């Protein structure tokens, strides 16, 4: 990896983190932490799309790293998901299980959707 690619990935990570922070300011009192869920779904969708574009040769490995490891890596947050789930478990184990389940299932779906859409657009 070139120094320029590394810097681009770092900047991409910062950009993803800024988006995640902006989403976190939208947090309203609710049973589920929607801003974290949305950030993780957006990042997973982006990673799925980058994987498809890398796989079909539309995106270079360097660009895929910048998008996937940089932007999507800065946008997604497993640690916040874990902290939210543990905090929810204390007041509502049902909501904690629901949140983790929704995140896992919809995350897989978002990644697959990103892959399918990117593949269709570049076919």
Low-confidence ranges of the chain (pLDDT < 50): none
Report pLDDT digits (tens) over 56-78.
Answer: 999 999 999 999 999 999 999 99
The whole-model pTM stands at: 0.91
DSSP the chain: --HHHHHHHHHHHHHHHHHHHHHHTT--S-SS-HHHHHHHHHHHHHHHHHHHHHHTTSS-HHHHHIIIIIIIHHH--HHHHHHHHHHHHHH-HHHHHHHHHHHHHHHHHHHHHHHHHHHHHT-
- pLDDT at residue 26, rounded to an integer: 81
């Amino acid at each position: 990896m070139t120094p320029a690619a590394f810097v681009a990935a770092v900047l991409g990570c910062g950009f993803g983190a800024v988006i995640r922070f902006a989403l976190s300011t939208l947090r309203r009192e609710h049973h589920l932490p929607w801003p974290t869920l949305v950030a993780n779904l957006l990042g997973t969708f982006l990673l799925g799309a980058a994987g498809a574009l890398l796989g079909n040769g539309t995106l270079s490995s360097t660009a895929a790293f910048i998008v996937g490891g940089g932007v999507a890596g800065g946008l997604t947050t497993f640690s916040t998901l874990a902290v939210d789930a543990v905090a929810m478990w204390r007041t509502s184990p049902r909501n904690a299980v629901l949140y983790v389940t929704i995140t896992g299932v919809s995350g897989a779906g978002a990644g697959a959707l990103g892959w399918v859409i990117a593949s269709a657009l570049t076919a």
